[in-house]
Amino acid sequence: MLWGPEDYLIERRVAELVQIMAEQDHNDPEVISLDSTEPQLRELDQLLSEVPLFAFRRMILVRHPVWLEKPKKGGPKDFERILQGLSERVLDQLHLVLTVNELPNNKKILEAIKTAGAVEEVPGLNPGQLGKWVNSELEKRGMKINREALNALAKSNRDMYYLLNEIERLALCNPGQTITVQELTGVEQNITDLNIFKLTDALLRKNTKQALKALNLLLDKGEPVTLIIHMISREILFLGKVQALVARGDTSAAIAKYLGKQPFRVDKMKGSTIAPREMAQIFSRLAQVDFAIKNTSQDNQLLLETLVIDICEMGRS
Task: Evaluate if residue 12 carries a pLDDT over 60.
Answer: yes
- The strand pairing partners of 95, in sequence order, are 59
CA-based nearest residue to 199, from 181, 217, 182, 184 = 217
Would you identify the CATH topology of the domain 2-121?
Answer: Rossmann fold (3.40.50)
- Please name every residue paired with 94 in a beta bridge, in sequence order, or none if there are none: 58
Q: Which residues pair with 64 in a beta bridge?
A: none
- Whole-number pLDDT of residue 104: 83
Q: 178: which strand partners?
A: 144
Q: How many Cα atoms occupy the beta-carbon half-sphere of 101 within 13 Å?
A: 15
Cβ proximity of 124 and 9 under 8 Å: yes
Residue 8 Cα distances to 100, 101, 130, 287, angstroms: 12, 11, 12, 32
d(CA 295, CA 287): 12
CB 11 within 8 A of CB 17: no
- The domain over range 127-183 is classified in CATH as 3.30.2270.10: no
Do 191-313 and 2-121 fall under one CATH topology? no
Indicate the SS3 state at residue 84.
helix
Q: Does pLDDT of 85 surpass 80? A: no
* DSSP at 81: H
**Would you list the domain boundaries of the chain?**
2-121, 127-183, 191-313
Residue 49: its pLDDT value, please? Answer: 65
Residues 6+ apart with CB under 8 A from 90: 51
pLDDT value at residue 67: 66
User: If you compute the radius of gyration of the chain from its CA atoms, what whole number of angstroms results?
Assistant: 21
For residues 51 and 120, the model is more confident at 120
pLDDT tens digit string along 296-310? 999 999 999 999 999
pLDDT for position 191: 47
The fold of the 191-313 domain, in CATH, is Zinc Finger, Delta Prime; domain 3 (1.20.272)
pTM exceeding the 0.85 threshold for the entire prediction: no
pLDDT at 48: 67
Taking the C-alpha atoms of residue 65 and residue 273, their distance in angstroms, rounded to an integer, is 7
CB 134 within 8 A of CB 145: yes
Number of other CB atoms surrounding residue 48 within 10 Å: 17
The answer to whether residues 237 and 206 touch, using CB atoms and an 8 Å cutoff, is no
Whole-angstrom CA distances from 118 to 2, 95, 175, 218 are 9, 11, 44, 39
Q: What is the pLDDT of residues 130-161, one digit of tens each?
A: 999 999 999 999 999 999 889 888 887 788 98
Asked whether residue 264 carries a pLDDT value surpassing 50, the answer given is yes
Q: DSSP alpha helices (H): ranges in 142-296?
A: 147-154, 160-173, 191-204, 208-220, 225-247, 252-259, 263-270, 279-295
What does each C-alpha distance from 130 to 9, 57, 126, 151, 245 come to in angstroms?
A: 11, 34, 6, 9, 33
**Interval 279-293: pLDDT, tens:** 999 999 999 999 999
